[in-house]
Amino acid sequence: RKEVEQDPGPFNVPEGATVAFNCTYSNSASQSFFWYRQDCRKEPKLLMSVYSSGNEDGRFTAQLNRASQYISLLIRDSKLSDSATYLCVVNEAGGGNKLTFGTGTQLKVEL
């Protein structure tokens, strides 16, 4: 089983739609969780951290379910500019605080 697993997509959605991505992780001792965004041929950038209580930043909502070992990202009112790859990232427990990236989920928002 992969350490961090995501559906690669692509998710093709119309502008204004709501879209949700899920990610599962294998290490139950993982400490912290993030969503990064990566535009085509660009470097990844932090989108948001994922807290146990869930967190919201404008149109973006992230949730963590430790019992089922998955995290989610919800994007409301999708914009064309949201088109990108969304990387699920898990901070593995243990020395060094190593971040493990999923393969990413590609989102394409269309007119």
Judged by the rule CB under 8 A, the positions of this chain that interact with another protein are: 4, 8, 31-32, 34, 42-46, 49, 87, 91, 95-104
What CA–CA distance (Å, rounded) separates 4 from 16?
29
- Spell out the residues 6+ positions from residue 104 whose beta carbon is closer than 8 angstroms to its own: 6, 8, 38, 85, 86, 87, 88
CA nearest to 88, candidates 42, 20, 29: 20
CB of 65 to another protein, least distance (A): 21
CB of 109 to another protein, least distance (A): 20
CB of 61 to another protein, least distance (A): 19
